[in-house]
Amino acid sequence: MNEKEMKSSITYSAVPEALGGPFVFWGSLPESMGLAAELGFDGIEIFPPGPEFLHQQDLKALSARFGIQVAAIGTGAGWVRHKLSLADSDNSVRSAAIEFLESMLEVATQLGAPMILGSMQGRSGPGVPKPLAKQYLREGLERLDSRARKIGGQILYEPLNRYETDQCNTLAQGSAMIRGLFCTKLLADWFHMNIEEADIAASIHKAGTAIGHVHFADSNRQAIGLGHLTVSPMIEALRSTGYSGYLSAEVFPLPTSQQAAYETIRSFEKYAKPT
């Protein structure tokens, strides 16, 4: 694998509460990694119920056995399972959210993978007007970033579409939110971007090297190629920023997990492999 090329990744979830969500593989992690390896993926993005799950797997051995890296660790279980968010009105819930995220950051860093902050960023609500929600989020990010700096970790902050959060919906808003942090980059999810950005390629270009990870999803959140996104200009924009991170398929397992994985790798090879 050339260090300068983009890398392919597929998602795996071990969170029953997220069933029906945009994750390709479910069930056995070794089997999923085996299938991903057979199809030629470089990495796997793991959505665990909590840090214990990652401690229980011998991920370093699995990685070596299948030749697949851990591309990133998702933290959405903190929200879907434990209802923890960085913008909760209750100080003790915000503290528990930080604690959960710090323990995930610890194990992600041990695995050499970045930790994603998506759903756990929360949103405004009763007792938490929008500016305060943003302030809580920034305070949380600062704390996590300084922890990451100490332990050599990396954080990926993900703007989400308006139906999931009112914190940051675009890459430009996300860039402002993470400004001045040292170990935090943006996660550009093409499903959310298709809803929120006026011009996806231009936004990628503008965010530039702040982008650390991509959720490689089509307009309908299916594998790239199964929706109506015009992919080439988006890949070109990434290329122009020198992006060499993952294109990770956070998509529905439709029509089946195997087919979603197959379509993803086919599209990856078509659009993102240098000719």
CB-based burial label for 227 (10 Å; 0-12, 13-18, 19+): middle
245 binds ligand LER (CB under 6 A): no
Contact yes or no for 71/45 (Cβ under 8 A): yes
User: Of the candidates 94, 134, 213, 215, which one interacts with Mn ion according to CB under 5 A?
Assistant: 215
Count of residues that bind ligand LER according to CB under 6 A: 11
Q: What is the largest CA-CA distance in the chain?
A: 54
118 binds ligand LER (CB under 6 A): yes
Helix (H, G, I), strand (E, B) or coil at 128: strand
Closer residue to ligand LER in complex, CB, 20/127? 20
Active-site residue flag, 3: no
Q: How far is the CB of 155 from ligand LER (least distance, A)?
A: 13
**How far, in Å, CA of 275 to CA of 273, rounded?**
6
Closer residue to ligand LER in complex, CB, 118/174? 118
Instruction: Determine which one of 45, 196, 197, 250 is catalytic.
Output: 250
> Bridge-partner residues for 44, per DSSP?
10, 70
Identify residues 25-44 at the interface with ligand LER (CB under 6 A): none
114 binds ligand LER (CB under 6 A): no
122 is in the binding site of which of Mn ion, ligand LER, none (Cβ under 5 to 8 A by kind)? none
CB-based burial label for 233 (10 Å; 0-12, 13-18, 19+): middle
Cα atoms in the Cβ-side hemisphere of radius 13 Å centred on 68: 30
Which spans of this chain sit near ligand LER (rule: CB under 6 A)?
Answer: 21-22, 76, 118-119, 158, 160, 164, 189, 215, 250
Which spans of this chain sit near Mn ion (rule: CB under 5 A)?
Answer: 189, 215, 250
